[in-house]
Amino acid sequence: MSESRHPEAGVPLSAQVFQILLSLLDGDMHGYALIQDIRRRTDDEIVLTASTLYAAVKRLLGVGWIEEVEPEEPPPGHDERRRYYRMTALGRAAARAEAQRLQRLTDMARDKRLLGPLVTTPQPKGSR
Amino acid sequence: MTPVGRVAPRPSRTSRTFRAALRLLPSTFAATDARELAHIYDALDAEARRTRGWPGGALALARELPGLVHLVAREHAAAWRARRVRRVQLRRIASYQRPYSEDTSMIESLLQDVRYAARALRKNASFAAIAVATLALGIGANAAIFSVVNGVLLRPLAVRDPDRVVTVMSYAATQPPSVYGSSPANFMDLRRETRAVSQFAAFSTSLATVVGAGEPESFQAVTTVGDIFGVLGVRPLFGRTLTPNDDSPEAAPAVVLSHETWQRLYGEDRSVIGRTVTVNRKPRVIVGVMPPGFRFAAAPADLWMPEQWSSEYAANRDQYYLQIIARLRPGATVERFSAELETVATRLRTDHAEYNTDLHLRATSLQETIVSAVRPRLLMLMGAVAFLLLITCVNLANLTFARASSRHGEFAVRRALGAARGRVVRQLLTESVLLATAGGLVGIAVGAGLLRAIIAAERASLPRVDEITLDPVALGFTAMVSLLAGVAVGLLPAMRASTARSMEVIRQGTRGSGAHQRARSALVVVELAVALMLLSGAGLLLRSFGRLLAVNTGFETERLLTMQMSVGGKSTQAVEQSLERLRAIPGVRSAAVTSQLPVTGRGGGAWFNIVDRPTPPNETPPSEAYRVVSPNYFATVGIRLVRGRFLTPDDRVDHGPAVVVNEALAKKYWPGQDPIGKQIMLGAPGNYLNPASPIVGVVGDTPDGGLDNPPIPTVFMPMRVAPWWPVFTYVIRTSGPPEAVTPAVRRELRAAFSTVAIRNVQTMESVLHDSVAPARLSMRLVGAFAIVALVTAALGVFGVLSFVVAQRTRELGIRMALGAAPGDVRRMVIAYGGKLATAGLVIGLLGSFAVTRLISRLLFGVAPTDPLTFASVSAILLGIGVLASWIPARRATRIDPIAALRSD
């Protein structure tokens, strides 16, 4: 495949991919849960459909940023068709690289006083 | 697939729609992936419905769509890419391994070979195209010409035991050998006094007007004496053939029809037997119809009828017009029959010396008699086409050689992978067979087209032309020859490649060896030499044809309409009246009749007697040609008056007959003297054609024996002196295009003679055109062969030089790096091409001098060593050689020294 496995290679990441990676920081998740989590965290700003999620997941699997895992203990209501995904170290590095990139960008905006100083800004909903 | 779990107990309508849409994904899309996708969608769908009811489901589906379309497109693109990669890999594996797996059956491996060969050829399409095209031309041309040669010269006549059917030739000391024209009495004597033949017959041909069911029609009639059908050994389709009994003057006049005549006159009516038709105003009973395949090869024949001589006429010795045809008895030979004929001739020379001075007879086979005249021309074409085949073979060899050499590496890899040597060789063989088959198939089309063209052009000039068919044996034979040539030469490099130590060859890459270059150069020199030989032959024929067209015809050929009519039995007055009617047509300037058109042959001949120079007793007078014409014939046709006067309507039997002669006759009998006033008579004592008549004028010569023959001494008799002449050709001088008045002329002639048929309506220009048709066709065919040969040779030069340049890229690069100018490099390559062309030129010239001598009989007004022709064709060959070197030379100058040194 032509896509590189290197964490820096995909930067900047698409919003969907970045959000998937962010969601997986909390732990393994299946597809539908990913969609719901992202929607919840972004206040319906990013709503994945089944196809877009699938396409993104496939790309992430392809470059090795996430991997498919068996759930350690099948949660209640487990469905055979569900597949669980876990972020790899590579994925974590990629997400971090993207976050740093975004931070650099906001720093620049701040330097130019486009944004206020980073002091008392309330944390965005759903992030840590 | 039953949904498990609680998320989607039963897929909703929209879920089912989504699942259906998933089928648009390529088949390579994993089923588990699809299942997961469907599962996620089901969950989304259920959630949407839970919150917003069915519109929520619809909305979810709508939102899903763009992503789904994108996914489907992506997956298909990926699947296509994967398939292509796989195919290429498979092919690569197959090309090295598949033909060599030893556990396959014979047929299977053969099929593999064929498949692989087809693929290999497709991969190198330009090689295959050139090879197939030249093969097709070579095979097609050879098959067409050989079919003609076979149908005309070789294939036995369609009669029983054709080698036993013989004719009689005359070998007089003063004339070239010719078919013997016998008198009735001589025929009777020969028939009675020879024993070597079982049947002995004779025939003459004429134009006959048949009035049967409707309009009068003109037919080629064969008038027979004796058991001619017994000689030929053919049976009728139904009814009976003519027998010697029909020759009796008391027998009811009979006629036998050809199959075509029967069909034309009566449809397929079998009840015609016993019916009466009028042939030349004489009622005849139809006694039989011949089968469709029967051809009387000796002459065109639409119907046969017996002579029915009176006993008085049977004793005639001065009418020489019968062609003898006989069947040898079993065991008898042509030599024995010849000896018998000569014995009778010796007796006739003494017993009837006044008729038979210099009578010498010999027998030859009928086939020989029919085809001997066209043999030199057909053999020349056969030779030319054989050269074409040779060049085709050499070209194929050259191509195969080049290809095999450039594939050294491939062969070596195969050997390294464990292919048996025989298998590699077999692979090459299969490719050659495939090429030959393709070339043969296209060649059939080429040959069929060419043959059609030849037959159309030669219909009038070639005997047995309707017996010619495209010869499958010839096709097969030529394909085989080309194939063997390709295989033989292709095998050498293949063998070498298959024995070479693999790694060396692989490392060496595609660079060929010096031996290779020498071999290919030799082949190209052969191609050039053969091309030059064909070119000089074509050049000579072209020059000769030019000379032929430049011959002064001695009359005005333009705006002259001609048509033939059998007027036998009509009075001279009726003919004169018909001429008056024609002259009254607007657009007709003048109209006349002649017994024979100029340039169409000798016509009638008779003994030539000069009254004040009598032939000694016991000696036969010379025979000269004569023509019966209307008085204004010369003015109409435009023949020039040399001295004296033209004929007038007053020159007639009862009022002081007169004749006109041509210059050739005047020169022959009165060299340096004035022939005007000399009295002459044509014919034999007691049977003169005319009373003693003075020569009143001398007219210019016309090349009546054909443009390539000297004029024939001729006497012109006025129609009123020879009122018995039966068939005339009308010549009509028009003021506009002759075609414009044709309908009016036909109408007037039909009104004048209701019961005679008009035939051969032609302009004089088309008559002349036809008279040189064989020469034109020969020239065109050999010319076309020469052009093909030249192009092939040029391709050969181009190929070799391209190879040389590719092979010496490094050397040329070094030279250029060391300061050689592009001009120097270009000169070097062109000089090599020039060397090849010069070698081909020298060999080709030597060959040409040897070969063109053989066609000297077919040339007119040009020596077989014509310097101008040879200089021109040499210049053409050298020019083509340099031209073909130009592109490789230019390529050589564009070599980048650095890149050249870096490459392998």
Under 8 Å between Cβ of A98 and A19? no
CA-nearest of B598, B844, B614, B596 to B728 is B596
Greatest CA separation found in chain B? 141
CA-nearest of B542, B137, B149, B136 to B383 is B149
Q: How long a stretch of residues is chain A?
A: 128
Under 8 Å between Cβ of B355 and B683? no
Count CB neighbours of B409 within 10 A: 17
Choice between B193 and B178, residue whose per-residue pLDDT is larger: B193
Q: What is the mean pLDDT of residues B641-666?
A: 90
Cα–Cα distance between B634 and B734 in angstroms, integer? Answer: 15
Residues of A with CB below 8 A from B25's CB?
none
Instruction: Round the CA-based radius of gyration of chain B to a whole number and report it.
Output: 40
Q: Which two tokens stand for residue B539?
A: 């050049």
- pLDDT band at residue B36 using 50, 70 and 90 as cut-offs: confident
Strand residues in B42-190 grouped as ranges (E) = 165-170, 178-179, 181-182
β-sheet with A29-30: strand ranges across = A29-30, A84-87, A66-69
Residue B374 one-letter amino acid:
V
Predicted ipTM > 0.85: no
Q: How far is A49 from chain B (nearest CA, A)?
A: 6
Residue B158 one-letter amino acid:
A
Residues of A with CB below 8 A from B67's CB?
49-52, 55
Under 8 Å between Cβ of B735 and B586? no
Under 8 Å between Cβ of B166 and B334? yes
Whole-number percent of chain B with pLDDT over 90: 31
Under 8 Å between Cβ of B548 and B889? no
Q: Do A81 and B71 touch (CB under 8 A)?
A: no
Q: How long a stretch of residues is chain B?
A: 904
Residue B777 one-letter amino acid:
L
Torsion of the alpha carbons at B840, B841, B844 and B848, rounded to the nearest 10: 170
**Does the pLDDT at position B97 exceed 70?**
no
Nearest to B44 among A35, A79, A81 (CB): A35
Q: What is the mean pLDDT of residues B128-143?
A: 84
Choice between B429 and B773, residue whose per-residue pLDDT is larger: B773
pLDDT digits (tens, 9 = 90+) for B247-288: 999 999 999 999 989 998 888 888 999 999 988 888 999 999
Q: How far is B494 from chain A (nearest CA, A)?
A: 41
Beta bridge partners of B693: B680
Interstrand relation of B714-718 and B623-629 (parallel, antiparallel or unpaired):
parallel
Q: Which two tokens stand for residue B743?
A: 């309908």
| Dihedral sign for Cα atoms in the order B666, B670, B676, B678 | negative
> Which one-letter DSSP state was computed for residue B251?
S
Q: Do B64 and A50 touch (CB under 8 A)?
A: yes
> Which one-letter DSSP state was computed for residue B722?
-
Count CB neighbours of B517 within 10 A: 17
pLDDT digits (tens, 9 = 90+) for B597-618: 998 888 888 889 999 888 887 7
Helix boundaries (H) for B808-866: 809-817, 822-852
pLDDT digits (tens, 9 = 90+) for B869-880: 999 999 999 998
Residues of B with CB below 8 A from A47's CB?
63
- pLDDT band at residue B295 using 50, 70 and 90 as cut-offs: confident
Residues of A with CB below 8 A from B39's CB?
31-32, 79, 81-82
CA-nearest of B778, B854, B821 to B462 is B778
Q: At what angle do helices B773-807 and B421-458 cross, to 10 degrees?
A: 150
Chain B residues contacting A via beta carbons under 8 Å: 4-7, 18, 33, 35-41, 43-44, 60, 63-64, 67-68, 70-71, 74
Residue B93 one-letter amino acid:
I
Chosen from B2, B4, B36 to mutate, greatest number of chain A CBs within 10 A: B36
Under 8 Å between Cβ of B146 and B478? yes
Count CB neighbours of B209 within 10 A: 26
Q: What is the mean pLDDT of residues B166-170?
A: 92
Judged by a CB distance cut-off of 8 A, whether residue A52 touches chain B is yes
- pLDDT band at residue B44 using 50, 70 and 90 as cut-offs: confident
pLDDT digits (tens, 9 = 90+) for B412-443: 676 666 666 677 777 777 777 788 788 888 88
The predicted pLDDT at position B510 comes to 46
- The SS3 assignment for B323 reads strand
Beta bridge partners of B305: B223
Q: What is the mean pLDDT of residues B786-791?
A: 89
**Does the pLDDT at position B101 exceed 50?**
no
Measured between CA atoms, the residue of chain A closest to residue B78 is: A1
Residues of A with CB below 8 A from B40's CB?
31-32, 35, 50, 53-54
pLDDT digits (tens, 9 = 90+) for B721-769: 888 888 899 999 999 999 899 999 988 988 888 777 788 889 999 899 8
**Does the pLDDT at position B680 exceed 90?**
yes
Chosen from A49, A78, A83 to mutate, greatest number of chain B CBs within 10 A: A49
The predicted pLDDT at position B190 comes to 94
CA-nearest of B584, B586, B604, B585 to B594 is B604
Judged by a CB distance cut-off of 8 A, whether residue A128 touches chain B is no
A114 CB contacts (<8 Å, ≥6 apart)?
none
Q: Do A54 and B39 touch (CB under 8 A)?
A: no
Between B334-348, B501-515, B685-699, the lowest mean confidence (pLDDT) is in: B501-515
Measured between CA atoms, the residue of chain B closest to residue A80 is: B4
B464 CB contacts (<8 Å, ≥6 apart)?
B151, B152, B157, B295, B297, B370, B371
C-alpha separations of A27 from B14, B183, B687, B785 in Å:
31, 127, 135, 85
Residues of B with CB below 8 A from A58's CB?
33
CA-nearest of B882, B776, B879, B871 to B829 is B882
Residues of A with CB below 8 A from B60's CB?
49
Q: Which two tokens stand for residue B740?
A: 């414009």
Q: Do B36 and A47 touch (CB under 8 A)?
A: no
Cα–Cα distance between B445 and B139 in angstroms, integer? Answer: 10
Nearest to A77 among B6, B36, B41 (CB): B6
Q: Do A55 and B70 touch (CB under 8 A)?
A: yes
Count CB neighbours of B106 within 10 A: 7
Backbone angles phi, psi at B241, to 5 degrees: -95, 180
Nearest to A50 among B4, B40, B70 (CB): B40
pLDDT digits (tens, 9 = 90+) for B550-586: 888 899 999 999 998 877 667 888 899 999 999 999 9
B560 CB contacts (<8 Å, ≥6 apart)?
B637, B731, B732, B733, B734, B738, B763, B764, B765
**Does the pLDDT at position B94 exceed 70?**
no
Choice between B846 and A115, residue whose per-residue pLDDT is larger: B846
Q: Which two tokens stand for residue B205?
A: 């041909």
Nearest to B74 among A55, A79, A83 (CB): A55
Count CB neighbours of B546 within 10 A: 13
Cα–Cα distance between B680 and B682 in angstroms, integer? Answer: 7
**Does the pLDDT at position B7 exceed 60?**
no
**Does the pLDDT at position B632 exceed 50?**
yes
The per-residue pLDDT string of chain A (128 residues; one tens digit each, 9 = 90 and over) reads 344 445 555 557 788 888 999 999 888 888 888 998 998 888 888 888 888 888 888 888 888 889 888 876 666 666 667 788 999 888 888 888 888 888 888 888 888 888 777 665 555 544 44
- pLDDT band at residue B362 using 50, 70 and 90 as cut-offs: very high
- pLDDT band at residue B713 using 50, 70 and 90 as cut-offs: very high
- pLDDT band at residue B1 using 50, 70 and 90 as cut-offs: very low
Q: Do A53 and B40 touch (CB under 8 A)?
A: yes
Residue B886 one-letter amino acid:
W
Cα–Cα distance between B782 and B770 in angstroms, integer? Answer: 19
Judged by a CB distance cut-off of 8 A, whether residue A1 touches chain B is no
Cα–Cα distance between B454 and B468 in angstroms, integer? Answer: 10
* H-run or E-run covering B717: strand B714-718
Nearest to B37 among A54, A79, A80 (CB): A54
- The SS3 assignment for B582 reads helix
Side-chain half-sphere of B879: how many Cα atoms within 13 Å?
6
B336 CB contacts (<8 Å, ≥6 apart)?
B196
> Which one-letter DSSP state was computed for residue B151?
I
The predicted pLDDT at position B336 comes to 94
The predicted pLDDT at position A30 comes to 87
Strand residues in A1-128 grouped as ranges (E) = 29-30, 66-69, 84-87
Cα–Cα distance between B35 and B497 in angstroms, integer? Answer: 56
CA-nearest of B823, B826, B839 to B886 is B826
Beta bridge partners of B220: B207
Chosen from A35, A80, A81, A82 to mutate, greatest number of chain B CBs within 10 A: A81
Residues of A with CB below 8 A from B34's CB?
none
Judged by a CB distance cut-off of 8 A, whether residue A77 touches chain B is yes
Find tokens 């032959």 and name the residue: B537
Q: Do A82 and B74 touch (CB under 8 A)?
A: no
**Does the pLDDT at position B669 exceed 90?**
yes
Measured between CA atoms, the residue of chain B closest to residue A54 is: B37
Q: How far is A112 from chain B (nearest CA, A)?
A: 38
How many Cβ pairs within 8 Å bridge chains A and B?
63
Measured between CA atoms, the residue of chain B closest to residue A82 is: B36
Q: What is the mean pLDDT of residues B9-15?
A: 75
Find tokens 């259920």 and name the residue: B46
Between B206-215, B540-549, B829-838, the lowest mean confidence (pLDDT) is in: B206-215
Residue B618 sits at the vertex; the CA angle it makes with B615 and B619, to the nearest 5 degrees, is 50
CA-nearest of B387, B490, B516 to B781 is B387
Per the prediction, chain B carries an average pLDDT of 84
Q: Is B375 exposed, middle or buried (0-12, 13-18, 19+ CB in 10 A)?
A: middle
Under 8 Å between Cβ of B775 and B545? yes
Q: Which two tokens stand for residue B404?
A: 């095999």
Nearest to B40 among A32, A47, A78 (CB): A32
- pLDDT band at residue B363 using 50, 70 and 90 as cut-offs: very high
Q: Which two tokens stand for residue B737?
A: 């295009």
Q: Which two tokens stand for residue B668?
A: 């022959």
Residues of B with CB below 8 A from A70's CB?
none
Q: Do B41 and A50 touch (CB under 8 A)?
A: yes
Under 8 Å between Cβ of B233 and B291? no
Q: pTM above 0.80? A: no
Q: Which two tokens stand for residue B862?
A: 């040009």
Count CB neighbours of B269 within 10 A: 13
Under 8 Å between Cβ of B762 and B771? no
Under 8 Å between Cβ of A45 and A26? no
pLDDT digits (tens, 9 = 90+) for B473-522: 877 777 777 777 667 666 666 666 555 554 555 555 444 556 677 878 88
